Amino acid sequence: EASYALPMDFRLTGGVEYDERERNTSAVRVVSTRVKTDETSYRLELRRSLSETVNGAVSFVHGNRGGSEWITTTLNNGAVGSNLMYPMFLADRKRDKFRGVLDWSPSEALSFNFVVEDAKDTYTQRIVGLKDGKAQLYSVDGSYVISEKWQATAWYSRNDTSSNMENCRASTTAS
C-alpha cells in the first residue's frame, strides 16, 4: 500500500492484496472442489478531511480469484461424478467494488462511521452454474465514551446479496 498527499488535503492511496487459501479434501465429494484458491485485489482510494470533525473516502477495488485444478466429484462407490457445477466460494471470479466511507466525530466522546458498498461479480469458468452476482452494503456505527473504563457502541448494517445461475436439463423423447 502506498499513499500520496495531493493538494486541497486529498490523499490518494493505492494497494495490492494477495490472499491464498488451502483446503482439505475428502475422498467422497458431492460437489467439485479445489485444494487452493488465490485472489489478487487492487485498490485505489481518494480520502479527504471535509472539516475538523468529518472525513470521507471513496474507493474502487478490482479483484480476480482463481486457484488450483478442480477435483471432480466422487461417489460412494468410487465412481467419478458429473463435475457440472462449482461451489460459489471456490469459483473463479472477477469482482468490482465501489465503497464510500464517512467518519464524523461531533465531540471527543462521540463518533459515527457510515459505509456504503456496491459490488458486481462475474463468474467465467462454467457453462452451467454461476454467471454473475451483486451485493450492496449499508452500515452505520456509533461510539460514545462514557468514562475511561466504559464505552458504548451501537451499529446497524444491511447487506443485500444476489446471484444469477444458469442450468440445463436433460431431455428424452419417447419413440
Residue 3 has pLDDT above 90, yes or no: yes
In this predicted model, what pLDDT tens digit does every residue of 96-155 receive, in sequence order?
999 999 999 999 999 999 999 999 999 876 656 778 999 999 999 999 999 999 999 999
Can you give the pLDDT at residue 128?
A: 66
* Mean pLDDT in residue range 1-27: 93
Contacts from 163-168 at CB under 8 Å and sequence distance 24+?
163/88, 163/121, 163/130, 163/131, 163/132, 163/133, 163/134, 164/130, 164/131, 164/132, 164/133, 165/129, 165/130, 165/131, 166/127, 166/128, 166/129, 166/131, 167/128, 167/129, 168/128
Report the SS3 class of residue 9.
Answer: helix
* Phi, psi at 172, each rounded to 5°: -130, 150
Higher pLDDT, 158 or 171: 158
CA distances from 151 to 21, 113, 138 (A): 36, 16, 24
Q: How far apart are CA 20 and CA 40, in angstroms?
A: 9
Residue with cell 475511561: 148
pLDDT of residue 127: 58
The residue among 30 and 39 whose pLDDT is bigger is: 39
pLDDT of 27 strictly over 60: yes
Q: Which residue has the higher pLDDT, 146 or 167?
A: 146
